[in-house]
């Protein structure tokens, strides 16, 4: 019952996270687009830096961007922050439900580090905070004045932390931890720099003073960082379904390369909005992705050697998999067979050989955290059996 309720909690919170994430990233992409498309009004309008016309949903829209702020504040001013905050709340809750509540299976791999669930959770939360503090420190340090150098240092730190974490968490846990850290940094920028800066600007105007443009500039820098981090973060959030990425021996390098590809593709759109279409960027991004795809392609598992009998495979599946992958799982924390994958009959096993190979032999994602203690030899037997054509006798 408890596991069933957890499944519902997971479903509802994931749904919410997706919706608020779309609302947040959607507005953020829209405003970058808007900013980049602005044109100086002809004839010039007082205090207006740029304007744009657009049509959407049957209506015409004419937006103006003011140099610093309009002379008179409108009565109603719309802020964009709850999308970001709710993405964070729902994301953190989801982290608790899927990773912390099942830390033994999702966050820990005894073959990597035999840590307790509470240690793993403490490390995870500690790093969420530390990541934000370090980022904030970097932005405020003299390095913060040099955008390109700051980006490079930030990126190298990220790769370093990913590689270091692969000695602490399960392979899958590493990716989600990095994704959560980046997401936290993005939301913290909204909550601690962008929104407070805007508030100070508005307050200054209320007092009849000219707002300090420094606040705007600082907020802009954080917005730009968020803009480039967006695509990589979204990749990490969906990567859980693709063990070929995080399950790879050099998962940190895979992440680093996909990160660069995502940032390149984002850069292409940023340039394109301002009328400069430089195809080199997305082409470089796609080339990097192609290189990664070739590099991490599963190696052919040899079917040579002794012929494997199905009964051997069935025995392994029975002891190592059925705890979770049966219609009524016995493994605590699992109310349903995960992803509906049931391995309780020869036919069902035979239908899923490709996915089993990917999960057990290639990426070693299953069993999660190797909860059921499958041995390397057993993995090899499954691999050989599939390579031999998965005969059912
Ligand atoms: C402790 C529980 C547990 C055990 C034991 C376990 N699995 Fe899984 N399995 C899961 C979970 C959880 C998922 C869903 C992962 C996800 O959400 O991406 C899953 C997913 C899968 C999938 C589908 C993956 C996909 O996206 O196509 C396959 C195939 C699979 N497991 C095979 C196995 C095999 C084979 C074994 C035994 C060697 C095994 N599992 C042992 C929990 C388990």
CA 105 vs. chain centroid, Å, equals: 20
Instruction: With beta carbons less than 8 A apart as the criterion, state whether 112 and 168 touch.
Output: yes
Ligand 1 atom at shortest distance from the alpha carbon of 355 = 29
CB burial of residue 208 (10 Å; 0-12, 13-18, 19+):
exposed
pLDDT for residue 338: 92
Radius of gyration for the alpha carbons in the chain, expressed in angstroms and rounded: 25
**Is 331 close to ligand 1, i.e. is its CB under 6 Å away?**
yes
**Is 144 close to ligand 1, i.e. is its CB under 6 Å away?**
no
Q: Separation of 3 CA from ligand 1 center, angstroms? A: 16
Q: Separation of 169 CA from ligand 1 center, angstroms? A: 18
- Provide CB contacts within 8 A for 186, sequence distance 6+: 84, 225, 226, 229, 230, 233
**Is 299 close to ligand 1, i.e. is its CB under 6 Å away?**
no
- Residue with the smallest CA separation from ligand 1 atom 12 is 338
pLDDT for residue 92: 98
C-alpha to C-alpha distance for 74 and 65, rounded to whole angstroms = 14
Instruction: With beta carbons less than 8 A apart as the criterion, state whether 246 and 174 touch.
Output: yes
Q: Separation of 368 CA from ligand 1 center, angstroms? A: 7
Q: Let me know how long the chain is.
A: 393
**Is 359 close to ligand 1, i.e. is its CB under 6 Å away?**
yes
Cβ atoms within 10 Å of 82's Cβ, excluding its own: 12
Q: Separation of 16 CA from ligand 1 center, angstroms? A: 25
pLDDT for residue 302: 74
- Residue with the smallest CA separation from ligand 1 atom 38 is 321
Q: Separation of 342 CA from ligand 1 center, angstroms? A: 9
Query: Is the Cα dihedral 220, 191, 102, 167 positive or negative?
Result: positive
> Quick one: which of 212, 23, 199, 229 has its CA closest to 132?
229
- Residue with the smallest CA separation from ligand 1 atom 2 is 324
Cβ atoms within 10 Å of 85's Cβ, excluding its own: 15
- Residue with the smallest CA separation from ligand 1 atom 28 is 356
C-alpha to C-alpha distance for 128 and 96, rounded to whole angstroms = 13
C-alpha to C-alpha distance for 244 and 294, rounded to whole angstroms = 11
Cβ atoms within 10 Å of 30's Cβ, excluding its own: 11
**Is 320 close to ligand 1, i.e. is its CB under 6 Å away?**
yes
pLDDT for residue 127: 98
**Is 341 close to ligand 1, i.e. is its CB under 6 Å away?**
yes
C-alpha to C-alpha distance for 19 and 16, rounded to whole angstroms = 5
Q: Indicate left, alpha or beta for 389 from its phi (over 0: left) and psi (-120 to 50: alpha).
A: left
pLDDT for residue 222: 93
pLDDT for residue 8: 93
C-alpha to C-alpha distance for 223 and 189, rounded to whole angstroms = 8
Instruction: With beta carbons less than 8 A apart as the criterion, state whether 117 and 103 touch.
Output: yes
Ligand 1 atom at shortest distance from the alpha carbon of 371 = 1
pLDDT for residue 275: 87
Instruction: With beta carbons less than 8 A apart as the criterion, state whether 243 and 359 touch.
Output: yes
Run means of pLDDT, 10 residues per run, the chain, 393 residues: 86 98 96 92 89 95 86 88 97 96 91 94 98 96 93 96 96 96 97 94 86 85 93 96 91 97 95 91 97 90 83 95 94 89 93 92 90 93 93 85
> Quick one: which of 320, 305, 331 has its CA closest to 378?
320
CA distances from residue 317 to 148, 153, 247, 325, 341 in whole angstroms, order as listed: 51, 46, 20, 9, 12
């Amino acid at each position: 019952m408890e596991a069933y309720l957890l499944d519902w909690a997971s479903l509802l919170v994931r749904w919410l996270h997706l919706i608020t994430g779309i609302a947040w990233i959607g507005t953020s992409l829209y405003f970058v687009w808007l900013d980049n498309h602005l044109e100086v009004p002809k004839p010039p309008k007082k205090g207006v830096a740029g304007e744009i016309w657009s049509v959407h949903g049957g209506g015409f829209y004419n937006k103006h961007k003011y140099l610093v702020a309009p002379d008179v504040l409108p009565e109603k001013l719309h802020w964009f922050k709850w999308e970001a905050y709710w993405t964070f709340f729902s994301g953190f809750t989801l982290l608790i439900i899927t990773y912390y509540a099942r830390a033994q299976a999702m966050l820990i791999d005894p073959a990597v580090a035999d840590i307790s669930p509470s240690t793993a959770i403490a490390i995870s939360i500690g790093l969420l905070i530390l990541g934000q503090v370090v980022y904030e420190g970097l932005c405020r340090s003299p390095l913060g004045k040099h955008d390109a150098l700051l980006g490079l240092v930030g990126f190298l730190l990220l790769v370093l932390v990913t590689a270091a974490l692969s000695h602490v968490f399960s392979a899958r846990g590493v990716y989600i931890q990095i994704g959560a850290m980046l997401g936290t940094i993005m939301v913290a920028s909204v909550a601690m720099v962008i929104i407070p800066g805007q508030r100070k600007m508005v307050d200054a105007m209320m007092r009849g003073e000219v707002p300090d443009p420094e606040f705007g500039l600082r907020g802009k820098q954080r917005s730009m960082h968020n803009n480039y981090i967006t695509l990589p973060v979204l990749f990490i959030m969906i990567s859980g379904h693709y063990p070929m990425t995080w399950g790879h021996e050099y998962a940190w390098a895979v992440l680093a390369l996909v990160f660069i590809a995502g940032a390149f593709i984002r850069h292409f759109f940023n340039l394109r909005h301002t009328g400069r279409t430089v195809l080199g960027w997305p082409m470089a991004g796609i080339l990097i992705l192609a290189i990664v795809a070739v590099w991490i392609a599963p190696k052919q598992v040899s079917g040579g050697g002794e012929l494997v009998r199905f009964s051997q495979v069935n025995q392994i599946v029975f002891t190592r998999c059925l705890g979770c992958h049966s219609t009524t799982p016995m493994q605590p924390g699992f109310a349903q067979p995960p992803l509906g994958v049931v391995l309780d009959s020869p036919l069902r096993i035979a239908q899923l050989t490709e996915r089993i190979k990917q999960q057990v032999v290639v990426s070693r994602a299953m069993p999660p955290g190797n909860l059921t203690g499958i041995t390397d030899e057993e993995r090899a037997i499954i691999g050989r059996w599939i390579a031999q054509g998965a005969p059912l006798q």
